[in-house]
Amino acid sequence: MKAKMNVPNLSQVKSFFLSLQDQICQQLEQIDGNSTFQEECWQREEGGGGRSRVLTAGNIFEQAGVNFSHVMGASLPGSATAHRPELAGRSYQAMGVSLVIHPLNPYIPTSHANVRFFIAEKEGETPVWWFGGGFDLTPYYGFKEDAIHWHTVAKTVCQPYGDDIYPKYKQWCDDYFFIKHRNEPRGIGGLFYDDLNSPDFDTCFNFTQAVGNGFLSAYLPIVERRKDMAWGDRERQFQLYRRGRYVEFNLVWDRGTLFGLQSGGRTESILMSMPPLVRWEYGYYPEPGSPEDALYSLFLIKKDWI
């Protein structure tokens, strides 16, 4: 029986991330049918670089960004050591794929996914490494069947790794993607995990591959189901208003955004998660009993969907 490997294979991880970016971009272009991803390859002065791909003005996707980056530096930024102070002063490498999709039709949810790998090293000491990632869904108009499908795929991804994995990472997602200053969830959640380095490298890498590969299985059926629904200015205005919550979370609370900016990352790539159009409205409350009100009362709540 082959022993599980616990020495990180960075080239293997990088190869998977690059192929995942290719696969996701290809399938999003195919379903959109109009626009294609424009690619920019970039280098970072301190070390590393990446390739950023953004699709705009599509039939279905108003904007979609799918980024790969592999960066390195002499010491980890504060956002990465805030909860791991023992890593301060170590050199590091960070790589991953991050994507955010903002559809045009308000009945299609916005979605985010991310898979990443960190390794921090210091001469004479054992390297410290971990995986992180997940995917989450942010509807504007909620549909129970979409929420059930999304979480069913999430649970299926986790099942081979233990009965406790889905509930644990669902809860972590609910807790992480919570807009504290609004006291509301960003969406209906999904999976979120970080600092994953046990039981061994192979298992953690296999799980991360399952999460990355599972994203399209969770998202595309929802896109297909909603893409031909008619919508007008009312739905559009509510969508733009709710996109404001997405911006607030990313700029105030998201650790990935902070890490990218603090580590001297490429600002355009980091902020590609921002929606192309958004609005704020002072003191807005949806009309009781309206479809907009249903988002708050039925979907933006912590709930077991399956």
Q: E-assigned strands of the chain?
A: 38-43, 48-56, 61-73, 91-103, 110-121, 128-138, 178-179, 184-185, 189-196
279 is in an annotated binding site: no
CA–CA dist 254, 250 (Å, integer): 5
Range of the domain at 273: 10-84+91-299
Give Cα separations from 27 to 31, 51, 99, 146, 223 (angstroms): 6, 18, 13, 20, 12
149 is in an annotated binding site: no
Q: Assess contact for 276 and 110: CB atoms under 8 A.
A: no
- Tell whether 136 is covered by a domain: yes
116 is in an annotated binding site: yes
pLDDT value for 30:
97
83 is in an annotated binding site: no
- Tell whether 140 is covered by a domain: yes
CATH of the domain at 25: 3.40.1500.10
pLDDT value for 114:
96
- Tell whether 50 is covered by a domain: yes
Tens of pLDDT along the chain (306 residues)? Answer: 344 667 889 999 999 999 999 999 999 999 999 999 999 999 988 889 999 999 999 999 999 999 999 999 888 776 666 677 777 778 899 999 999 999 999 999 999 999 999 999 888 788 899 999 999 999 999 999 999 999 999 999 999 999 999 999 999 999 999 999 999 999 999 999 999 999 999 999 999 999 999 999 999 999 999 999 999 999 999 999 999 999 999 999 998 888 788 877 788 888 989 999 999 999 999 999 999 999 999 999 989 999
- The residue behind tokens 């294609």 is 36
Residue 177 dihedral angles phi and psi, to the nearest 5°: -85, 55
44 is in an annotated binding site: no
- Tell whether 116 is covered by a domain: yes
- Tell whether 208 is covered by a domain: yes
Residues 6+ apart with CB under 8 A from 26: none
- Tell whether 5 is covered by a domain: no
Q: How many CB atoms lie within 10 A of CB 280?
A: 12
CA–CA dist 199, 217 (Å, integer): 27
Q: Assess contact for 161 and 207: CB atoms under 8 A.
A: yes
pLDDT value for 5:
63
pLDDT value for 88:
78
Active site amino acids: 112
Residues 6+ apart with CB under 8 A from 120: 76, 87, 90, 91, 92, 127, 128, 129
CA–CA dist 297, 292 (Å, integer): 9
pLDDT value for 2:
45
Structurally, how many domains does the chain consist of?
1
264 is in an annotated binding site: yes
pLDDT value for 200:
95
- Tell whether 306 is covered by a domain: no
266 is in an annotated binding site: yes
- The residue behind tokens 């990218």 is 260
Give the angle subtended at the CA of 107 by the CAs of 254 and 286, to the nearest 5°.
75
